[in-house]
Amino acid sequence: MSSIPKIVILGAGYGGVMTALRLQKMLNYNEADVTLVNKHDYHYFTTHLHMPAAGTDSPENARVSISKLIDEFKIDFVKSTVVQIRPQDRKVILEDGTLSYDYLVIGIGGEPETFGIPGLMEYALTIRSINSVRLIREHIEYQFAKFKREPHRTDYLTFVVGGAGFTGIEFVGELADRVPQLCREFDVDPQLVKIINIEAAPTALPGFDPELVEYAMEVLRRKGVTFRIGTPIKECRPDGVIVGDGEEIKAQTVIWTGGIRGNRLIEEAGFETIRGRVKVDEYLRVPGHDNIYVVGDNSIVFNEEGRPYPPTAQIAIQQGIAVAHNLVASIRNQALKKFEFKSKGTVASLGKGEAIGLVFGKKYKGWTAAQLKKLIDLRYLFIIGGIPLVLRKGKFF
């Protein structure tokens, strides 16, 4: 190991950005060389993407430039795509170069989990990045324009959303809010528009409080969403989906929100994975690699009952804080701290002015829950960018 250890952070998602910002705060000058690698020069708010996807907000409001977050005297930022991780050589291969490291933090984000459903990868759209939500928004508007030219094609106005987890529910809430505006803009009868939310599990928002789930479904039904719960998608085709026992739903738009797996680069690196994610040790390290940490969608952390925590922004943020602490402890030959996830609760948006939430064991719904969601988003903006970022972005959340 060189006199100044090299720390490389792959990915500027919630976990990667939080690791970098904490290291920036905790490390003294020349105590370590820290490099943050990301394929875009911005950090985006995954929990906000459902809004620009539906067209109820601009994609610009869901991202912030990395240069506005980091101190360039303490953190080197490299805009590049990771091609390969080589733990045996302590190297990361980028599309335009190579980085060596003493400590590595992997937070390169997940990939859509299709559960082997034929056609999903080819024909469904996903809410995964700024570029993907731009595509969804433009695609939706294009369907309304096409319908005006071919008014017999009601499949242009049928929008199938696969998955009724948090992303699916939040997206249909926003889309239902957008439909009346699109109908006015394109002079389309709102009765012709169908939003169908399909979920294989026996309930929407699996694992969430049943009373709040029922409230959420009722709010969304009133907005025009049709639910098909306990109905698996068997196949996705260019002209719609096959569900259940072979029923065909004709639609020119299928948006898949049904889950995330880890990243193939992690599997290719030779780490032991479950659906592309590493079962990290108690300090968030790769078993057998004391110098490699994994955060966010790339990691699996189990709760006391032996079930994995869902990969949320909340857990990734806490992981980033823990990893930064342990990196500094390693450099200073101090004791590492075990990672313990402390859930503050969960809030799901249902469109404008509506949400449900379970926060510190208490249930919230309607306007109160929507304000709570805003507070959570503002708190994150404050954590990463202070008051200036809150003032700049807060009004959009």
Write out the catalytic residue numbers. Answer: 170
Q: How would you label 2-30 residue by residue, b for 16+ Cβ within 10 Å and e otherwise?
A: eeebbbbbbbbbbbbbbbbbbbbebbeee
End-to-end, the C-alpha distance of the chain in Å comes to 45
How far is residue 136 from each of residues 149, 223, 336, measured CA to CA in Å?
20, 20, 44
Give the integer Cα–Cα distance in Å for 331 and 27: 10
Q: Which residues share a beta bridge with 208?
A: none
Give SS3 for 396. helix
Maximum pairwise Cα distance, the chain: 71
Tokens representing 289?
């690699």
Dist. CA 124–CA 283, nearest whole Å: 37
Q: Do 294 and 259 touch, CB atoms closer than 8 A? A: no
Strands 277-279 and 299-300, how do they pair?
parallel
Asked if 172 contacts 161 with a C-beta cutoff of 8 angstroms, the reply is: yes
Whether 104 contacts 19, CB under 8 Å: no
- HSE (side-chain half, CA atoms, 13 Å) at 322: 23
